[in-house]
Each structure stands twice: as structure tokens, then as C-alpha cells.
Structure 1
Amino acid sequence: MVAPGSVTSRLGSVFPFLLVLVDLQYEGAECGVNADVEKHLELGKKLLAAGQLADALSQFHAAVDGDPDNYIAYYRRATVFLAMGKSKAALPDLTKVIELKMDFTAARLQRGHLLLKQGKLDEAEDDFKKVLKSNPSENEEKEAQLQLVKSDEMQRLRSQALDAFESSDYTAAITFLDKILEVCVWDAELRELRAECFIKEGEPRKAISDLKAASKLKNDNTEAFYKISTLYYQLGDHELSLSEVRECLKLDQDHKRCFAHYKQVKKLNKLIESAEELIRDGRYTDATSKYESVMKTEPSVPEYTIRSKERICHCFSKDEKPVEAIRVCSEVLQMEPDNVNALKDRAEAYLIEEMYDEAIQDYETAQEHNENDQQIREGLEKAQRLLKQSQKRDYYKILGVKRNAKKQEIIKAYRKLALQWHPDNFQNEEEKKKAEKKFIDIAAAKEVLSDPGTVCAEAAESVVGDLLGLLLCWLRGGVRWGRGASCSGPPAGAGDRFLALRFRKSSFRPHQTQGPCVPSAVGRPADTEAGAGFDSSLPAQATRAVGAPALTPTIGKYNSEGEVLGSFHLPRSMMNSSSQTCRSLTGKLGFQTGMYP
């Protein structure tokens, strides 16, 4: 389809030169021109040739006023109007030229062109036929014949388009209208007809484009403005809808449909603006209430329900109400699976609920649709980081007990939390899913903390046979370490890696180490000096358990804080895990270690 702007642009570049040729052809014509009119015509011609259209137009206005019967003055003014894209103003001047000089074929040919572009096919054909009967030049004859053929083709296509529309074949009608509007670019009625086809085919934005063109091509086109406003309203664009219906009322303030629509749009617009202001102020509960009012005000347009729920989802997320946010965001995503805003807000709610896998999935889906969103990138990185941290489970934190809690305290805390988070207590699917996850974590924490052997096995397995697994199993005193460990420097002359730690005697209990608690690793024993209260038979028990030499510690005396310093010599060949491995164990068991070269 050829846009009107591009056509007028081409006309503007061609017409000044056509005018100069016409002037040369008719320079000696008898027009009854006085000296002042002649002066205006000459000056206007020069300005037109220089592209100074506004100044040229002023000169031709003066020439027409000076001699209302001067067809050259009208023709030149029409040429300027066309160059400025004002075909409506040019058409009366061309008609006046033909009235004053019936055999002026150039003016009649040009008027035929304009009538054809406006879709006035019968009038255009009449002009082209009269050109052929008025002794035209060879070029004019060829042009008139060519335009007659084109006009006949447009007549045929128009008839086919109307037939297709009447039979509800809107796709075919659009195809025919596309071809017609490539030629009849200023035909308002055909654009309105195609807009109606687009509406029937569910393409409202294309319809809006045609209706906007029609509103400019036809004077006082209130119907076009009304349709544009209602289409924007159906699309959920209340601001543009309000703007367009106001244009309708400017043309006719008593227009009943425009006025009724205006009141509805204005009411809805006021509610939405108020809700958005509340969100900016951080008053999320009030904003939620406003958007609920929006849905009640316009329940028949699904777009407003979706947009309102999207913003309510955002409010719940920002107000740290994750359960409500997840529920409403999920409703939005059922209707619009690719809604980036709902995906981001639900992901934030999942983070609050510590549902990191779900948050990562939402952020990744959102990123597929908006790769450059910094908020999505940062949220995804945060979710991945929190997921990694969450995998280092702190069982004491899960049950809410201290690290020196006794078995009875652990069982009591477990029973209380198990009753609270049992999945049967929840009906909502999202809440039930959350409860199941919590219940599993609570059960796992109880299982581990009430069975020292289970903790030992899990620690050894977590390092996949690393010597630190042997270390943790060997220093087994239940799972309730005291203040944890602090590092000291290596002993003099230590050639291998050196691991040092401290622990309280009150929480250190010898434990028969067996099974997976002692990895089958071979190391060189170090000298052992038994400290007060230390079971020196423990290294030998560990050695018997694996049937091979085991690493043994050097145990010092209790210090002033009631702690025992233990140190281990580990061969370099067996300690290829970095200090990062030690930090990993620290995060899982709340146990600090240090390694030195």
C-alpha cells in the first residue's frame, strides 16, 4: 500500500518542473493580466522553482485576488497546493482552470489523477475521456489512455471487494482492497471498509491505522474517531481511547455514543491513574483495592482484568505477600504465559518463599523474552546464588534449635514443626506444595540430628571420599560442636599440609567409627599426644574399622576456655582439595577448618 505522504512527496518534487514547462507553453496566452498580477506570477514561479513553497503560494494568492479570471494563476496555485500535500485545496483550483479554459488538457489530466487517487472513479474516467477528445499532445494521449485502463481495473476490484465483504469473506476483501488502495490512496470510504474487515479478522491495530487515515481524509469524521476510541479501549489502552473520544466530541459535543463512551473511559482512567500513584507511594494494599475496582467497573473487557491482576500481582510481591503474589501471578500467566512482568513478580515471590528452583525457571523464561532487562539478570543471579546456598542445609536452623541442643530438644522441635507443616493442613495447591517441601526438610533434619551416625555418613559422602570426611568422622562427638574451630599456624618443619581445629570437651564424645564414616584412604600416622579427657584409643578404632592405617591427630591440652587443640598432618598427595572444600564443609556443618602449605 502506498502511503499518502510518500505520494505527495513525489508530487512535490515533480510539479515545480511541470509548472515551468506549462508556463513556457502558455507564456503568450491572452489572459487579460495587468502588470501587478504579472509581477506576482513571475515572482511566484521563481520561488516555486527554488522550492520556497509558502512564499510562492502567497504570490499566487495575490495573483488570483488581482485577477479572478486568470486560469494560469489558479493552475500555479494548484501546483503549489499539491507540492505541499494539500490535494483538497488543489482540486477546486483545477476545476476553476477547466471552467475558464475548457481545452486546458494539462489541468484536466491532473484533476483526473487526483480524482482517481480519491477513489472517484467515474469522475476520473470522465476527465480522461475528455482529454482524449480535446486534441491532446502525444504524451497526454498516452497518459490518459493508461489512466483509463487503470480506472477500469479499480472498478473491477472494487466490485469484487464489495462482493467478498457481503459474503463475509473478509480475507479476500482485504486482498482486493489492498490492491485498490495502492492506487486510490486517498479514498476514505475504502479505508473504512478495510478497517471493518480487519476488525472482523481480529486485527484491531491495522483497523486503527486505516481509521486514522480516514479521519484525516474525510472532514468531520466523528464515526472514525469513535471507532478508534472503542478499539483502543478494547485493547486496554485507556489513555489513547480517552484522547480519541475527545476528538469526536470536539467535532460534535452532542454526539451521544461518543459522550457515553467518554464517561466510561474517564471513570476507568481515573481509577487506574489513582492506583498507579498509590504504587509509586508504596501503598500496595490501597493500590490492590483500586485495581479490584477497575475489574468491577469494566468486567466485559478481558484486557482490563488481565492488566489489573498483573498489577495486583506486582503489589503483593512488593508488599512481601508471597503466597498471594504467586496465586495471582499464576492466574495472569495462565492467560498470558509470556507475560514478563508477571514472571518477574512471581519469581520475586518464590525467592521470599525460598522456592529457588521455581524462581530460576521464571527468571529464565522472562529472559527468553527480554534479554536486555537488567532486573531479570540480577534476579536470576540472586536466585542461583540462593539456591546454591540452600543446598548447604543447616539442620539446626530448620528445626530452630541451638547447636548444643540435646536429643530431647530436637525431638520436641521436630514434633511441633511437623504438626505445623503437615501437608494435610493445607488446601491451596501452592501452600500445599510449600508445606510438602518444609515437611521433608523437617523430617530430614530430625533424622540427621537425632542420629549421630547419620550425620557422620552424610559428611563423609558430601566430600566423596575426601580425607576431610575421615577427619569429621574421626572427631565424632555427636553432631553438636561447641564454638566450632579456629585455625592455628603449622608446627615447625611441617612439610605436608597441616589442618588445625579447636573443639569443646563438653561436646566431644568418642564414637565408634565404622562403615562409610571412614573413607578407605591411606595416610601416614602422626605422633599422638593424648590431651585431658581424650579417648586415645579412637585412632586405633578407626584404623581397625578400615583395615588400613588411618590419619591420627596430635591432641593438646585444654586451654583456658576449656577447648582442646587438635592438629592433623595430611600428605600433599592426598590433599588435592583446596581450602574452598574446607569452606564448603564449614557452610554445611558450621565447622571451621584451616589448611596451610
Structure 2
Amino acid sequence: MGVLRHLGPLLIISVLILFVIADETVSSLVLDAGKAIDRRNFDAAESLYSRAIKLDEDHTGLLYCQRALTRRVQQNYDGALSDLDTCLAKKDGLSDRDYVYYQLKQHCEVLLATGNVDRALRELKSLKKFDLSSAEQQRKTDLQGRIEAARKIKKRLPSADLTAVKELLTLTPYDLKLLNQLCAKAIEAKNTALLVEVSRKMIDSFPGDGQAMLYGAQGKMLMGDVQSAYKLARRAMDLDPDNSDYLKIFRPITQTKRKLDKIAKAMQSGKYDLVVGESFDGPDIIKISVEKSRCQAAVKSKHSSAVSICTGAHRLAERLGDTEAVVEILLERSTAYENADDLDSAIADVQTVLQHDQTHATARDRLSSLQTAKQLADRVDHYKVLGVSRGDDDKTIKRAYKKLAMKYHPDRAETDEQRADFTAKFQEIGQAYEILSDPEKRAAYDRGDDLKQGGPGGFPGGFPGGFPGGFQFFSSGPQGGGGPGGSQGGFRFQFR
């Protein structure tokens, strides 16, 4: 009994010491949390506040409010809202000014951000019993305006336009239920713009949410960005590998990526026939990538169906309104037309490109090249006329000319019809020899210069009184006369 009597005061002292130690520990934790906030290490600050709350659960009202601030900075709005609810309900350690501050600047803001607009309005109205400063009153008015704007737009959903939805997402960026509903609605309606906007906001607000990543992946797919879609879907699967709903979205994205990767690899390795034989049954926004590759491969391999394949790709690009793809495909098809010797169509395609972009350097260079090729194709091939090759020397060209001039001289014609043909042929031969026998003219012709053919007097080419190469023809009378044996038209040839 005496021992107990002595233990009594000691026990009381021990308990008091424990309280002091606990109080000092809470104080030190709060102090350390403040230092962590100064270093912008909010995760550490949240952890320190949590430890302080556990040490003194009966007097933690203000600690909950302080932890809520760190959670809000870390975008943990659900956690912040829970802490603020607890803090303001307890009112432990809160003065009226503290209460107004946390209610006005934190609680109602978080309620609005998470989409709890009706409750936010009620909490805001509860501040009527407090004497607010002019600054607080102005903040309350501004906040009330934003809350009511959000309520108005939410009532219009899902018929609200994209501009209104964007405004709502700005006001309530952490309303996960709303974000999920909007994404689902956008996918159902195939509304790419809405899905992209909402999923982007959802990922920003909930960076660790797998469903947000999958919505983002679907948005990227609708934009045709398969690589980004795959990265987002892969991140979602890493979070929850066994989620069957995730797999339903992940698998088709993966299959599409593999096909595009296969095509890209085949193009790089020059396996163009493999690419030409590919097909894709999916969204046009992704299919255009496949069709562009097929067009390019068909042109590079000079496939017989290159023009047809590129035309199909062009129609798809036009339907999508994808100007960049249209330009790319038209340039490819112009090459296909050129390979098929249809220079007029090739030029027309390049001119269409320049209608889209007059400064397109590649198109301008290509148009010049095609127009030169067209001029060369349209002009007489003097080498072909004389039956010689581009590399033949002057003697060979002269010999060929003389032979043909003798063969096709008009006076050797036996009928009027044949005379007309021989005359035309003879003129063509003379023109060819005039150009190819002159070194300067031949060089200019080989360069593709536009030479003015023909000269004054005599036959075209300007050689009156004879023909190039010292070849002269002397007629002894009209055709049909003759010497013995009925020879046609007295004539003889003389070479100088």
C-alpha cells in the first residue's frame, strides 16, 4: 500500500512527461512539415502531418486543414476534401477567422473543383453569419459566380457544346464522375474533339488513373496517333494487368501498332511488294497512313497498279480533309503517272499541289522537271529520225543522213500520195541532220533547249540549192519520163 502511495505521484509525473513529449513531438513534426513545404516537398509534408495527427487524435482540427493543403497541391482532391470536412466539422483549434479562411479559400474551392456544386453553394451561404472583410466578400461573390456557372452548364449536359464543356472542365477539373461520363459519351458519339479535350483534362487531373489513360488512348486513336495511344494504354495495363476491360481496349491498339510497325519496317528494308499487299480495316484516320505507305511502295516498285492505288489514297485523304496527306499523295501519284509516260497527268497533279501551297519547294522543282520532260517528249527525236544513237560520231550521223535522204527524196516517189509522205519524211531528215551536224546545236538539243528549227529558203534547215553533207540531187525531168527500160523520172545523185 505504501508502495502504491509512492507510485501515485510518480505515475502522474510520468503521464505529464509523456504529454509534454507528445506535444513537443507534434510541434516538431508540424515544424518539419512547414520546412518541407518551403522546399516544395509536399509528399513529405503530408506524411509529417499524418504522423502528427496520429500522436494527438483528440486535438487535430487544424492539422487536418493543414494536411488538406498539401494534398490539394498534390492533386489529391478527394483526400483534401475529406480532411477539410473533418477539420471544419471539429472546429478544434479554429478561430472564426481560421474557419472563414478554410471554408472560403479551401473547402468551397475543393467542393467546386470536385463537382460538388450544390454543396459548395450551401457551404458558401453558411458564411452569412460571419462578418467578412471587403476582400473576403469579393472572393465569396466571385466564387459564387463560378459555382452557379458550373451548375448551369451541368444542367445542360449532355447537349452542351464543346465550348461550354471546356468551361465546365475548367471549373470542375477533379469531378471524376463527370469526366468518365463525358468520355463515355464522346466515344459513343465518336466525337473526337470532345474525347480528346476531356481525356486530356482527365489525365492532367488524375495522372495515375488507368481509366483516364485508356480514355486518352482512345482519343489518340481517333486522332490517328497510334504510337501515343499505345503508350497510354500500356501504362494503364501496367497499373492493372489483369483488368479485362482494359484488355478489350489495349488489344486492338496493340494490333494496329504492330501492323503500322510492320509496314514501316518493310518500307525501310525495301520490301515494297509486301507493303502494296497490305490492307487495313479500321478508322479512316489511321487507314490513311496505311494507304499512303501503299502508294509510296507502289511508286517505288513501279507497280502496274501504282496510279490506281495512289488514286484510292487520294480519295481517302480528300474525304478526311487531310491537306498534308493530299499533297504527299499527289506528289507520289505524279511520279506514278510519269513512270506510265502520262506526263500531262503528272504535271496536273503537281499543279494541284501548288494550288494548295504555292511555295512548296519540292512541287516547284518537280513541275519544272516535268515540264522539261514534256518538252523533250513532245519534240522530234532527231536521233531516232536518222536511226542513230546519242553517242554516235559525226561520220556515222552523216552516213545515216545520206542514206535516208536518198531513200526518201520526193522525186523518188511513184505516186502523189507517196510524194507527200516522202516530202514530209525528207524534211524531217533534213531538220534532224541540220541540228546533229552542228556541234553547238547538237549540244543545245541534248540539253533540252528549245531550238527554233527551220531556216530561210530551200528545205527546212536552211540549205538552198542542196542538202547538208555535200549531197545534191539533179532532176532530168518530170517523174514518169524515162530512159530505156521504163526507168522512173530521170534523176541522178552526186556526192561532193
Over 3 Å counting, the alpha-carbon distance change for 1:226 and 1:62 in structure 2 is closer
Counterparts of residues 200-239 of structure 1 (less than 5 Å):
203-215=191-203, 217=205, 222-239=210-227
SS of 1:185's equivalent? coil
| Residue of structure 2 in register with 1:256 after alignment | 244
Say whether 1:485 aligns with 2:437. yes
Q: Aligned equivalents of 1:448 and 1:271: distance in 2?
A: 65
Partner SS for 1:311: helix
Percent sequence identity over aligned pairs: 17
Q: Structure 1, residues 110-166: CA drift from partner, whole Å, max 9, x if none?
A: 21111112211122123213333355555435533553454344323322x13xx3x
1:329–1:346 CA contact under 8 A, matched in 2: yes
Q: Does 1:453 align with 2:435?
A: no
Instruction: Identify which of 313, 317, 322 aligns with 1:332.
Output: 313
Q: Deviations over 1:426-457 (max 9, x none)?
A: xxxxxxxxxxxxxxxxxxxxx99983533677
* Shift in Å, 1:217: 3.8
Amino acid at match of 1:335: L
Match of residue 94, structure 1, among 84, 87, 99: 84
Question: Structure 2 matches for 1:366-405, cutoff 5 A?
Answer: 366-369=353-356, 375-394=362-381, 397=384
Give the counterpart of 1:186 among 158, 174, 177: 174
Quote the Cα distance in structure 2 between the aligned partners of 1:451 and 1:75: 106
* 2:150 aligned partner, one-letter code: M
Distance 1:300 1:449 in 2: 66
Higher relative contact order (CA 8 A, sep 6+): 1
Q: Secondary structure at the match of 2:305?
A: helix
Tell me if 1:125 matches 2:121. yes
Equivalents in 1 of 2:383, 2:470: separation in Å? Answer: 29
Match in the other structure for 1:246? 234
Judged with a 3 Å threshold, the aligned counterparts in structure 2 of structure 1 residues 139 and 479 are, in CA distance, closer, same or farther, namely closer
Q: Is the 8 A contact 1:395 1:449 kept in 2?
A: no
Structure 1 pair 478–375 and aligned structure 2 pair: CA distance change class (3 A): closer
Q: What CA distance in whole angstroms lies between the structure 1 residues aligned with 2:460 and 2:384?
A: 27
**1:40–1:87: structure 2 CA closer, same or farther, 3 Å change rule?**
same
Paired position in structure 2 for 1:62? 48
The 1-side partners of 2:45 and 2:230 are apart by: 42
Shift of residue 277, structure 1, vs aligned partner: 1.1
- 1:115 counterpart residue number: 111
1:364 aligns with 2:351: yes
> Cα offset for 1:386?
1.6
Q: Alignment RMSD, CA only?
A: 4.8
**Residue 312 of structure 1: how far off its partner (Å):** 1.6
Q: Which residue of 1 aligns with 2:301?
A: 319
**Alpha-carbon distance in 2 for matches of 1:148, 1:378:** 62
* Partner Cα separation in structure 2 for residue 195 and residue 33 of structure 1: 49
The answer on whether the counterparts of 2:113 and 2:175 sit within 8 Å (CA) in structure 1 is yes
C-alpha separation in 2, matches of 1:84 and 1:90: 9
2:100 corresponds in structure 1 to 105
Deviation at 1:46, TM superposition (A): 6.8
Cα distance change of structure 1 residues 178 and 279 upon mapping to structure 2, 3 Å threshold:
closer
Residue equivalent to 1:352: 339
Change in CA separation of 1:408 and 1:248 when aligned onto 2, cut-off 3 Å: farther
SS at match of 1:53: coil
Q: 1:407 to 1:247 in 2, by over 3 A?
A: farther
**TM-score (normalised: structure 1):** 0.56
Contact 2:273 2:297 in 1 (8 A): yes
Number of aligned pairs?
411
TM-score when normalising by structure 2: 0.66
Deviates more, 1:448-457 or 1:239-248: 448-457
CA distance in 2, matches of 1:254, 1:91: 31
In the alignment, residue 308 of structure 1 is paired with which amino acid?
Answer: V
Kindly provide the CA deviation profile for residues 268-293 of structure 1, in whole angstroms up to 9, marking residues without a partner as x.
Answer: 3323322221211112112323x23x
Measured in 2, the distance between the counterparts of 1:318 and 1:114 equals 60
For 2:290, the equivalent position in structure 1 comes to: 308
Q: Secondary structure at the match of 1:451?
A: helix
Check conservation: 2:124, 2:144, Cα contact below 8 A: yes
How far 1:245 sits from its partner (Å)? Answer: 3.1
The reply to whether residue 278 of structure 1 matches residue 266 of structure 2 is yes
- Cα deviations across residues 405-443 of structure 1 (Å, max 9, x unaligned)? 759999xxxxxxxxxxxxxxxxxxxxxxxxxxxxxxxxx
- The answer for the alignment partner of 1:287 in structure 2 is 275
1:154 aligns with 2:154: no
C-alpha spacing 1:186/1:262, structure 2 compared with 1 (3 Å): closer
Residues in 1 aligned to 2:216 and 2:176: alpha-carbon distance in whole angstroms = 14
**Amino acid in structure 2 at the alignment position of 1:282:** G
Question: Structure 1: which amino acid aligns with 2:147?
Answer: S
The letter for the 1-side match of 2:316 is: M
Counterpart-to-counterpart distance in 1, 2:44 and 2:234 = 34
The whole-number CA distance in structure 2 between the counterparts of 1:330 and 1:408 is 51
1:389 partner SS:
helix
- Which structure 2 residue ranges, 5 or more long, are not aligned? 1-19, 390-399, 409-416, 443-454, 476-493
Letter in 1 for 2:437: A
1:466 corresponding residue in structure 2: none
Offset of residue 225 of structure 1: 4.1
Secondary structure in 1 aligned to 2:124?
A: helix
Q: What is the CA distance between 1:330 and its match in structure 2? A: 1.1
Q: For residues 217-256 of structure 1, what are the alpha-carbon distances to aligned partners after superposition, in whole Å with 9 as ceiling and x for unaligned?
A: 4598555444444444455443333333334433443433
Aligned to 1:11: none
SS of the aligned residue for 2:140 comes to helix
Structure 1: how far apart are the matches of 2:74 and 2:30? 18
- 2:472 and 2:495 in contact (8 A); partners too: no
Distance, in Å, in 1 between the alignment partners of 2:331 and 2:30 is: 68
Q: Does the 8 Å contact 1:115/1:124 carry over to 2?
A: yes
Change (3 A) 1:99 1:398: farther
Superposition pairs of residues 14-93 of structure 1, within 5 angstroms? 34-35=23-24, 37-38=26-27, 41=30, 45=34, 52-54=39-41, 58=44, 61-62=47-48, 65-66=51-52, 68=56, 69-83=59-73, 86-93=76-83
Q: How far is 1:313 from its partner?
A: 1.6
Report what 1:544 is aligned to.
none
Structure 2 distance, partners of 1:62, 1:478, is 103
Does the C-alpha gap of structure 1 residues 211 and 448 become closer, same or farther in structure 2, counting only changes over 3 Å?
Answer: farther
Q: Is the 8 A contact 1:249 1:258 kept in 2?
A: yes
AA of the residue aligned to 1:316: A
Say if 1:397 and 1:342 are closer, same or farther in 2 by CA, change over 3 A: farther
Q: What do the CA deviations read for 1:37-73 (whole angstroms, capped 9, x no partner)?
A: 545655665775xx5322x764674365345434444
Question: Match for residue 429 of structure 1?
Answer: none
Offset, 1:319: 0.9
What's the CA shift for 1:387? 2.2
* 1:558-569 matches, cutoff 5 A: none
Q: What secondary structure, in the 3-state scheme, does the structure 2 residue paired with 1:320 have?
A: coil
Residue 318 of structure 1, CA deviation = 0.4
Report the CA distance shift for 1:372/1:478 in structure 2 as closer, same or farther (over 3 A): closer
State how far apart, in whole Å, the 2-side matches of 1:343 and 1:33 are: 78
